[in-house]
Amino acid sequence: MITDLNKLKQRRQPNNYLTKYQEFLQVEGGLSSDPVDRRNSKKKYHTNKGVRWETFKLILPKATYKDFLEMNDSTYLKIIKYHERAVSRLIKDTIPNDAVKLFLIEELWAAGNLNNYIGQDLNDIDNLYEIKDVRYSRLLRRKPYLNKYKKGWKRRRIEFREFNEQFIPIITKDLYL
């Protein structure tokens, strides 16, 4: 019982889930220059730690390309918090828990929008994951050249889901006593 309460208190510390999410995102690795994934970027390296150069400039307009290449953890956390604020503005007070909030931050990070989730039941995280899987399937059908990323994207979705389960609220009858 006490262990569950301590875990619950620890999870509710301000930005605890953002700090843990930052640690999770370290799997994004470093610089990427894959020509298939580059879109219209004229830069050699278009992605760093999962952050596109265009997104970096949007969030930090005074930053330079050198800043992007040498992105530190503090800057990385600023970008994560920017995504959190965007999710909070879009969804308002309807986000039921940190697991859903992180799911939506992750989707905004990866997809660039939350259009697929507007009007959906945000209390049903399993349904949100199903919507995400359908979105990936449709994307790969529309853009078959992206199939080279299919295994990596699937692995990332599985890893993120496992990571995110720690933020699903623990509800036991002992907590109500």
Each residue of 67-112: pLDDT tens digit?
999 988 888 888 888 888 888 887 776 666 788 888 888 888 777 7
CA distance 137 to 134: 5
| Secondary structure (3-state) at 51 | strand
The domain total for the chain is 1
Asked if the model's pLDDT at residue 166 lies above 50, the reply is: yes
User: Which structural domain, as residue segments, surrounds residue 153?
Assistant: 2-176
Residue 115 token pair: 């259009």
pLDDT tens-digit map of 139-165: 899 989 889 888 988 888 888 888 888
> How much of the chain exceeds pLDDT 90, in percent?
14
Contact criterion met (CB below 8 Å) for 52 and 31 = no
Going 34 to 152 to 140 to 91, the CA torsion angle's sign is: negative
Residue 20 token pair: 């843990």
Q: Which H or E run includes 104?
A: helix 98-111
Asked if the model's pLDDT at residue 9 lies above 60, the reply is: no
Asked if the model's pLDDT at residue 66 lies above 90, the reply is: yes
pLDDT for the residue numbered 11? 46
